[in-house]
Structure 1
Amino acid sequence: MLVRLTRRLLTMATAATLLGAALTLGSGPAAQAAVPDSIPLQLTNNSGRGDAVHVYVLGTSLTTGQQGWADASGAFHAWPAGGNPPVPAPDAAIPGPAAGQTKTIRIPKLSGRIYFSYGQKLDFRLATGGLVQPAVQNPGDPNRNILFNWSEYTLNDSGLWLNSTQVDMFSAPYAVGVQRADGTTVSTGRLKAGGYRAVLNGLRAQPGGWAGLVQTRSDGTVLRALSPAYGLETGALPAAVLDDYVNRVWQKYATTTLTVTPFGDRPDIRYYGRVSGGVMNFTNSSGAVVTSFQKPDAPSVFGCHRLLDAPNDQVRGPISRTLCAGFNRSTLLTNPNQPDTSAAGFYQDAVTNHYARLIHDRMADGKAYAFAFDDVGNHESLVHDGNPRQAYLTLDPFD
């Protein structure tokens, strides 16, 4: 879990660094207003649930590099030393708003997560390497029977990046937003009316093990739907769930060229993929092989890692991101020019990421982070502003 989420946050941080450099090269001090050390986060509870809400702001300080947590005032506290086995972390819970109420806290310059749980506090532990995040695909995880979710954010000198994420699971619904310097607001992550139940019911109705992604508590409360990557780990989805599609892709590009243009703002950079000897080799415009991929399995596709590893470079990583998006959205057979950015053609094959398909279909704006590189083509549920006045996190109804 941490690998995929950290990769996305690093992508945000890299973008922030580049943006900051561009602003520095702009028209002097007026080109960039200073981002304060913390900004307000307005929490609104429209869930309709009577449970107490507990909120956590956890992450890595971009000032000191330490891991820790923030209190309601935005003050950062470094975690104490962990142990082996992991030891209980200090109680970092902030009381959230009651149903129908709004509460404002402050979030500091961090790269991390904003957790919220209903009815019960989360159980965080500290290992020698730092914080142990919940891993609810493990039946023995102490948070397995708690209803919770989280958003991810990075706040630094170049602004705020705040998303809603379903990379690991689809759970308690919420939306995020930011108020810009001019007073306007943008938001994302909100489900259509009836969308929460529609996603869960859609998974239950989808043959092939997808119903097994839905986790419930012994009292019947639906807790979440695991991502297909974790569905493979738990055995809910068969290991061969994507084999048919992957085999057809490999067969097609043994005789056809797959053209990847990974940078939207640099259309002159293209790579050309062909399968030979069971391996997809990518060449540049000079014909030199720049990277190669073994035929990926389902864990590699759903997790966008392993055989589709995406290092933070300018060649293999961007190509791998594009392949990952094409496999999850099942566009590689219908379009030999990738990335395919038109959502109308996504998830049309019978063999596809049905979890991502259902989530995107039920989002009010069609945006989601249903797999790690759902930002390819700008289909991610992310808000950003270089000079944010305020952030928003709204707990939405479970309808």
Structure 2
Amino acid sequence: MVSRRAILGGAIAAGIGGPLAVSALFSAAQAADGLPVTVVNNTGRFANTEIFMYIVGTDPASGQQGFVRSSARLTPAQLSDNGPDGFADLAIPLAASGPTTVVLPKMSGRIYFSVNDKIKFKVVPDGAGRPALQFPAGWVASDPSFPVLHDCVEFTFSDAGMFCNTTMVDMFSIPMSITLTGAKTQIAGALVDGGRDKIFAALRAVPEFARLVVGDNLRVIAPGHGIEAGLFPSTFYDSYIDAVWARYRTTDLRITANGRVFTGRVTGDQLVFDAGVAPFRKPTTKDVFFCDGALAAPNDGVTGPVAAMLGAGFNRATLLDSPDQPVGDPARFYQGAVANRYSAAMHASSVDGKAYGFAFDDVVDFASFIQDTAPTGMTVTLTPFGSSG
């Protein structure tokens, strides 16, 4: 299964001309060359003319970053794409009314949407001197696109099929869902009625998380980024981490991954497992929220899967609930004072209970991720905003 982490690994490598008429992007004859992606505006608040679309990502063969400007073709990014203002206008305006359809080429990347203003992409040299795209960072106050209402879905479209998700790993702003058709019809990311309002209300009700809400419900940023911005306590998880380390100093922690059971105990200041798993040093609160640092997951089939289970156990606050991980009952997630309330709010407002509230949310299949090995079409629906924002 291709998770969000695998999608991002192939799509966004960097720190990431003019608008194209929608009519030039699609015809039935071109569908065989790519995957038709239809955008439906059900926001209930914004007209099509107020919404812009962007398709950006990476060519799987060359690794070159680029953007979609013509049907089923990824245009390589060039420094000359930057205009007089220093930014590249990669916006695709939606049709004046009704759905908009675009043919997606084989690539990994993101489909962004912005409202009332355009995202300010920039082409810069990467570490190897090749042109790369600078993507918006809605969690950084100095980012040129920070004031712009925007969000995205992620995907990998290849010979193996379509793998896609809605994501709140970095932030949440525009409610949207994905419908993927092919061997069957699947939907991901749909919120309950008033879901956007419910998310903001839930987070505003928790003092530590309230400061993550930007402006008048423009967006909410993930707590890891909140730590970086000085908006969230960097010690939030410390007491829970200490309790986990204390418990498993005298108790076995058993993690089942890839059909194997790995047994670990804390020795010194490291959580040490058997069967070739690399030891884990004691994580920080930031490591927990980012599922990185001490909880980084290498793509090795052994340490990586165990790291993912640990990251999920910390974020869902299940590691003290059971020595057998992962816990699969969502009723046991996010209990107690120390838990990822940001992720909890996303799941609570999702129709199917699935969301991408943190990077390892795909553990035991609770992520807003869908895939199809024989896709015939994809629809991204911008769903109702509710009363706020």
Of stretches 87-96 and 244-253 in structure 1, the one that deviates more from structure 2 is 87-96
User: CA deviation digits over 1:273-304, x for unaligned, max 9?
Assistant: 101212111112xxxx6321111111100001
Match of 1:22 in 2: none
Partner of residue 266 from structure 2, selected from 256, 267, 275: 275
Q: CA RMSD in A?
A: 2.3
Partner of residue 333 from structure 2, selected from 327, 346, 354: 346
Q: Distance between the aligned counterparts of 1:277 and 1:89, measured in 2?
A: 51
Q: Distance between the aligned counterparts of 2:289 and 2:87, measured in 1?
A: 31
Q: How does 1:39-50 map to 2 (within 5 A)?
A: 39-50=35-46
SS in 2 for 1:271: strand
Deviation beyond 4 Å, 4+ runs, structure 1 = 4-8
SS in 1 for 2:224: helix
Aligned residues of 1:215 and 1:223 also touching (Cα < 8 A): yes
Question: Does 1:74 find its partner at 2:69?
Answer: no
Q: Distance between the aligned counterparts of 1:7 and 1:211, measured in 2?
A: 31
- What is the aligned length? 358
Match of 1:301 in 2: 288
Closer, same or farther in 2 for the Cα pair 1:128/1:10, shift >3 Å? closer
Aligned residues of 1:166 and 1:370 also touching (Cα < 8 A): yes
**CA positional deviation for 1:133:** 1.2
Q: Which runs of 5+ in 2 are unaligned?
A: 13-30, 127-131
User: CA deviation digits over 1:83-111, x for unaligned, max 9?
Assistant: 99xx845322111245x721111111111
Partner of residue 257 from structure 1, selected from 246, 252, 257: 252
Q: How does 1:168-247 map to 2 (within 5 A)?
A: 168-181=170-183, 184-207=184-207, 209-216=208-215, 220=216, 222-247=217-242
Q: What amino acid does structure 2 have at the position aligned with 1:153?
A: F
Partner of residue 157 from structure 1, selected from 152, 156, 159: 159
Q: Distance between the aligned counterparts of 2:79 and 2:370, measured in 1?
A: 34
Partner of residue 307 from structure 2, selected from 320, 327, 348: 320
Query: What TM-score do you get using the length of structure 2 for normalisation?
Result: 0.87
**CA positional deviation for 1:160:** 0.2
**CA positional deviation for 1:12:** 10
**CA positional deviation for 1:36:** 4.6
Match of 1:38 in 2: 34
Q: What amino acid does structure 2 have at the position aligned with 1:377?
A: V
Closer, same or farther in 2 for the Cα pair 1:390/1:83, shift >3 Å? closer
Q: Distance between the aligned counterparts of 1:97 and 1:365, measured in 2?
A: 30
Closer, same or farther in 2 for the Cα pair 1:7/1:62, shift >3 Å? closer
Q: What amino acid does structure 2 have at the position aligned with 1:241?
A: F
Closer, same or farther in 2 for the Cα pair 1:149/1:275, shift >3 Å? same
**CA positional deviation for 1:6:** 5.8
Match of 1:105 in 2: 102
Question: Does 1:374 find its partner at 2:357?
Answer: no
User: CA deviation digits over 1:228-278, x for unaligned, max 9?
Assistant: 111111111111101111111111101110011112xx2xx2211101212
**CA positional deviation for 1:60:** 0.5
Q: Distance between the aligned counterparts of 2:233 and 2:36, measured in 1?
A: 45
Aligned residues of 1:61 and 1:67 also touching (Cα < 8 A): yes
Closer, same or farther in 2 for the Cα pair 1:398/1:262, shift >3 Å? same
SS in 2 for 1:322: helix
Query: What TM-score do you get using the length of structure 1 for normalisation?
Result: 0.85
**CA positional deviation for 1:8:** 4.6
Q: Distance between the aligned counterparts of 1:382 and 1:161, measured in 2?
A: 7
Q: What amino acid does structure 2 have at the position aligned with 1:234?
A: A
Match of 1:398 in 2: 385
Q: Distance between the aligned counterparts of 1:397 and 1:242, measured in 2?
A: 34
Match of 1:32 in 2: none
User: CA deviation digits over 1:296-336, x for unaligned, max 9?
Assistant: 11110000111111111122111111100000000101111
**CA positional deviation for 1:185:** 1.8
**CA positional deviation for 1:349:** 2.1
Q: Distance between the aligned counterparts of 1:143 and 1:12, measured in 2?
A: 20
Q: Aligned residues: percent identity?
A: 39
Q: Distance between the aligned counterparts of 1:107 and 1:232, measured in 2?
A: 36
**CA positional deviation for 1:171:** 0.8
Match of 1:24 in 2: none
SS in 1 for 2:279: strand
Q: Distance between the aligned counterparts of 1:120 and 1:395, measured in 2?
A: 16
